[in-house]
Chains A and B, each alone.
Chain A
Amino acid sequence: MSDWKKIAPLGDIPRQGSRVVEVEDGSIAVFRTSDDQVFAVRDACPHQQGPLSQGIVAGHTVTCPLHNWKINLESGEALAPDDGCTNTYAAKVEDGMVYIQL
């Protein structure tokens, strides 16, 4: 059920950026932060489903491009004072390849 899926070499995701992975029931945004960690969250802001993958990444947060909600990439939770949560998926880098767990 929950398998690690190989996505792409880490170098394919820009640092402080993200790429989108299409899955059966929507899109997952895979982020690479400035410390070269990877995070995967559903590509929909809890506010109005804005594409988080298109936001600006700072530290381990992304700012939604539609209305500037800030989402914690580790937990998927919106930073106060906003309130809401988007799904997260486990993600890792092994031998330079990015994997996410579906």
Chain B
Amino acid sequence: MQKILKQRKLMKEHLVLVGNGMAGVRTLEELLKLAPEQYDITVFGAEPYPNYNRIMLSPVLAGEKTIDDIILNDRAWYEENGVILHTGDPVVEIDRVKRKVVAESGLEISYDRLLLATGSDPFIIPVPGSGLPGVIGFRDIADVDAMLEAARTGRKAVVIGGGLLGLEAANGLQRNGMDVTVVHLMDILMERQLDKLAAEMLKTSLEEKGLKFLMGTQTAEVLGEDHVTGLRFVNGEEIEADLVVMAVGIRPSIGLAQKAGLHCDRGVVVDDTMQTYDPRIYAVGECVQHRDQCYGLVAPLFEQARVAANHLAKMGIARYEGSVTSTKLKVTGIDLFSAGEFNEEEGDETLILQDPAQNVYKKLVVKDSRIKGAVMFGDTMDGTWYFQLLREGTDISGFRSTILFGQHDLGDAGHGDEIRVAALSDDAEICGCNGVTKGDIVNAIQTKGLFTLDDVRAHTKASASCGSCTGLVEAILSSTVGEGYDAKPSKKPVCGCSGHSHDDVIAAIAEHELKDMPAVFERLEWKTPDGCATCRPALNYYLLARWPEEYQDDAQSRFINERAHGNIQKDGTYSVVPRMFGGLCTPSDLRAIADVCDKYDVPEMKVTGGQRIDLFGVKKEDLPPMWKDLTDAGFVSGHAYGKAMRTVKTCAGKTWCRFGTQNSTGLGVKLEELTWGSWMPHKFKLAVSGCPRNCAEATIKDFGVVCVESGYELHIGGNGGIKVRVTDLLCKVDTEAEVLEYCGAFTQMYREEAHYLERTAPWVERVGLSYIKQRILEDEVGRKALSERFRVGQEVAQVDPWKARAEGEAAHEFTPLKITA
């Protein structure tokens, strides 16, 4: 046994990582998660430190953090994971024929796979004197040390470059007591991230902090004999300097790759799998050029890391398709955010909010009702939200008039001003569902080394339930570990079992006619044999929705509520809610319910908001006999437990109400008869009001009807839950038959296209009202086809699960086993 193990160890392939920085080590972390035993791993780093957080160098320079604070993987991490680390020993040669690397120390290591993550070098302007002592870049810990040393002895510093890095360097030097002048070639600061107005506001704020600026100024020469003493500019003027920081940009560090004959352009050229032109060599990070883009921000690098790890682990399913990036300036007291294409072009629309007194400026560039770019100054709290809307291509027409006021203005559970997380105390509760405080989250992030929203969710449960505090948790994450950490892939996978998004899965099921779960697992290369508790219910739903007549529902892939056809309560008992069509009932209905409650000792009854009666505290084994009594009395399941059609709420109606129009209550009954029994991506509620007074609250339902004298208004996408959303008006129709057809079509479109566990409200916001109108209103043939597909599905779905179980189906679910011998 021992021998076999040894042999297997000998047979492991060898992976060498060149570059011990964030992108490379992140790739190792992802790889170790996927295939911990696949490689023996050796890492070479030029710097004498283990992997640290380069984007936090600015706070270190400003004295807000120490180097220990920004170490991401200490040496113990490398040891624990069996990774051999050579620090302070850069690789100087790659021999691709013999497949080995040579380090500066002379060490030679052969590889089966090589991962290049050499990062980038600061660009030093080629002017006379640029090689003098006292002229440095701002790239690594050594540069920070040099700046801190200069601040102790010198007085005047000049930073060349008014971009993100230059301004952070200038701020840090000034905080260390130096007199700092920023020299910038352009007329506006951070021209790649800011428009003119935001740049002006930024410059004013920085001048108030004491920084000086020379705009539109080009350096001609660095002055000095054996150490820098000043600069001369092209216009002939001169300035004194004890330290010059060149922060005019970075260049991918490709010298090593070029020398090895790898194809390079501006960076090392890679394909969508992060492979270079040598199939044994992968590359990630700032040294890479992908689809003609080089990236210098951390979020894209982490996406690349995930893809490279997937291929190194030989799973071969992930693709990197480029990133949209966002930027925040890490200068304490200055809030600035930008993303996407923020300088409007012809045909774009611009939304602007400007409040000079508060020093707030927000600009969104919009095209075809979708955000293309954003610039914010002074109030950046909603930056992550705008960035999400941008990346997901969300149609903003529904909330365009208030979008500049931020997400909380949409009624985000009343967080309101609390949303400024930095000002919150540690005991402030962030996640109301799970009772998680800001302190808990910060503590978990720091002690457990968390990077992503998913990590924080897994460790603290914050935002893991209803999700309404997601924005707050993201804000805490970014304020605790720095910008760009929450590197969400642009397409969110269903779960960790595959890299596929919900849309990919839905499309594959239809396109490849996948009709059961093993077929999906095989076709889409699921990593786990049985899936997990997240993907299985989703797949079960997608298969059921696509193949209603053929797919055999898998009870073991349903949550217990749907398997047991009742809601599990916290003491392990169940609740039973019989359906009351349109909320109508008769004395004999109520008598039957009362009798059932007596017979089975139901401890509590309650009239629900959906106009029916909830019977609480039923023991699981009593469910089938109770259902038998209820079905004998004419009831069917209310599906109060399922991702399914729940209720149709109605008002008093024309028969009794002096304001009533149309036969609203009767229409409610017909709608419930049409839709009951239907499984949905999430719960689905309807309502019919008899007049615009809207007593049935139809405008916060998934599908609401408001009857008026001349017909029926159809409303969609409302929600009265965590985040209240008023419906959008779909259209007005003339007849009941049309109401039923449009309802069937809308419902079916939602069933076929929404993601599992996505209510209609976020779905409508994601795909856009205009798209839904186009499918339901403008395409009559399509609408009728959707409605017909819904009808066909309902023929199978409208089998009362209670009656079936009362008659013995799935009896094993409800009876305990006995010890027989």
List residues of chain A with CB under 8 Å of any chain B CB.
Answer: 5-8, 12-17, 19-23, 27, 30, 33-34, 48, 50-51, 54-59, 63, 65-68, 70, 81
Chain B hits for A56, CB < 8 A: 532-533, 536-537, 556-559
Within 8 A of A (CB), among B561-603: 561, 563-564, 568, 570, 572
The answer to whether the Cβ of B512 comes within 8 Å of any Cβ in the partner chain is no
The answer to whether the Cβ of B819 comes within 8 Å of any Cβ in the partner chain is yes
A56-B533, A65-B568, A66-B570 given; A6·B556 CB < 8 A: no
A16-B556, A58-B533, A58-B536 given; A21·B818 CB < 8 A: yes
Q: Which of A16, A21, A50 has most chain B Cβ within 10 Å?
A: A16
The answer to whether the Cβ of B816 comes within 8 Å of any Cβ in the partner chain is yes
Within 8 A of A (CB), among B443-473: 448, 458-459, 461, 464
**What residue in chain B is nearest A56 (Cβ atoms)?**
B533
Within 8 A of A (CB), among B796-821: 812, 816-821
**What residue in chain A is nearest B455 (Cβ atoms)?**
A81
Chain A hits for B461, CB < 8 A: 67
Chain B hits for A48, CB < 8 A: 570
Chain A hits for B531, CB < 8 A: 58
Partner of A14, one of B448, B559, B561, B812: B812
* Complex-state Cα separation, A52 to B88, whole angstroms: 52
Partner of A54, one of B532, B536, B568, B812: B568
Q: Mark B530-548, 1 if CB is under 8 A from A, else 0.
A: 1111001100000000000
Chain B hits for A68, CB < 8 A: 464, 533
**What residue in chain A is nearest B450 (Cβ atoms)?**
A81
Chain A hits for B389, CB < 8 A: none
- Flag if B816 contacts A20 (CB, 8 Å): yes
Chain B hits for A55, CB < 8 A: 533, 560
The answer to whether the Cβ of B353 comes within 8 Å of any Cβ in the partner chain is no
Q: Shortest distance in angstroms between A97's beta carbon and chain B's nearest beta carbon?
A: 9
The answer to whether the Cβ of B358 comes within 8 Å of any Cβ in the partner chain is no
- Flag if B817 contacts A19 (CB, 8 Å): yes
B interface residues, how many (CB within 8 angstroms): 32
Chain B hits for A8, CB < 8 A: 817, 820
Chain A hits for B448, CB < 8 A: 81
Chain B hits for A27, CB < 8 A: 816
Chain A to chain B: the 4 pairs with minimum beta-carbon distance, closest first: A63-B533, A54-B560, A16-B556, A56-B533
* Complex-state Cα separation, A12 to B817, whole angstroms: 9
A19-B817, A27-B816, A34-B530 given; A65·B559 CB < 8 A: yes
Q: Shortest distance in angstroms between A75's beta carbon and chain B's nearest beta carbon?
A: 18
The answer to whether the Cβ of B555 comes within 8 Å of any Cβ in the partner chain is yes
* Complex-state Cα separation, A56 to B448, whole angstroms: 28
Partner of B816, one of A22, A58, A63, A81: A22
Partner of B819, one of A13, A14, A23: A23
* Complex-state Cα separation, A53 to B249, whole angstroms: 59
* Complex-state Cα separation, A70 to B570, whole angstroms: 18
User: Can you spell out 26 A-B residue pairs with CB atoms less than 8 angstroms apart?
Assistant: A5-B821, A6-B820, A6-B821, A8-B817, A12-B812, A14-B555, A14-B556, A16-B530, A19-B812, A19-B816, A21-B816, A21-B817, A50-B572, A54-B563, A54-B564, A54-B572, A56-B533, A56-B556, A58-B530, A58-B533, A59-B530, A63-B532, A65-B560, A66-B570, A70-B533, A81-B459
Q: Shortest distance in angstroms between B446's beta carbon and chain A's nearest beta carbon?
A: 15
- Flag if A34 contacts B529 (CB, 8 Å): yes
Partner of A7, one of B529, B530, B557, B817: B817
**What residue in chain A is nearest B458 (Cβ atoms)?**
A81
- Flag if A21 contacts B819 (CB, 8 Å): yes
Q: Shortest distance in angstroms between A67's beta carbon and chain B's nearest beta carbon?
A: 8
Chain B hits for A13, CB < 8 A: 812
* Complex-state Cα separation, A22 to B568, whole angstroms: 19
Chain A hits for B555, CB < 8 A: 14, 17
Chain B hits for A30, CB < 8 A: 817
Chain B hits for A17, CB < 8 A: 555-556, 812
* Complex-state Cα separation, A56 to B559, whole angstroms: 7
The answer to whether the Cβ of B528 comes within 8 Å of any Cβ in the partner chain is yes
**What residue in chain A is nearest B448 (Cβ atoms)?**
A81
Apart from A19-B812, A51-B572, A58-B536, 19 more pairs, CB < 8 Å: A5-B819, A5-B821, A6-B820, A7-B818, A7-B820, A8-B817, A12-B812, A17-B812, A19-B817, A54-B560, A55-B560, A56-B556, A57-B530, A58-B531, A58-B533, A65-B559, A65-B568, A81-B458, A81-B459
**What residue in chain A is nearest B535 (Cβ atoms)?**
A58
Q: Which of A15, A17, A27 has most chain B Cβ within 10 Å?
A: A17
Partner of A59, one of B529, B556, B557, B560: B529
* Complex-state Cα separation, A17 to B557, whole angstroms: 9
A7-B817, A51-B572, A81-B458 given; A57·B556 CB < 8 A: yes
* Complex-state Cα separation, A5 to B817, whole angstroms: 12
A14-B812, A54-B560 given; A7·B568 CB < 8 A: no
Chain B hits for A7, CB < 8 A: 817-820
* Complex-state Cα separation, A56 to B555, whole angstroms: 10
* Complex-state Cα separation, A33 to B529, whole angstroms: 11
* Complex-state Cα separation, A7 to B530, whole angstroms: 26
* Complex-state Cα separation, A66 to B568, whole angstroms: 9
**What residue in chain B is nearest A62 (Cβ atoms)?**
B533
* Complex-state Cα separation, A17 to B814, whole angstroms: 13
Q: Shortest distance in angstroms between A90's beta carbon and chain B's nearest beta carbon?
A: 15
Chain A hits for B572, CB < 8 A: 50-51, 54
* Complex-state Cα separation, A65 to B572, whole angstroms: 10
**What residue in chain A is nearest B434 (Cβ atoms)?**
A67
Q: Shortest distance in angstroms between A70's beta carbon and chain B's nearest beta carbon?
A: 8
Chain B hits for A22, CB < 8 A: 816, 818
Chain B hits for A20, CB < 8 A: 816-817
* Complex-state Cα separation, A16 to B554, whole angstroms: 10
Q: Shortest distance in angstroms between B35's beta carbon and chain A's nearest beta carbon?
A: 17
* Complex-state Cα separation, A59 to B817, whole angstroms: 23
Q: Which of B448, B537, B820 has most chain A Cβ within 10 Å?
A: B820
Chain A hits for B464, CB < 8 A: 68
- Flag if A15 contacts B556 (CB, 8 Å): yes
Q: Shortest distance in angstroms between B463's beta carbon and chain A's nearest beta carbon?
A: 14
* Complex-state Cα separation, A66 to B533, whole angstroms: 12
**What residue in chain A is nearest B531 (Cβ atoms)?**
A58
Q: Which of B461, B556, B570 has most chain A Cβ within 10 Å?
A: B556
Within 8 A of A (CB), among B499-551: 528-533, 536-537
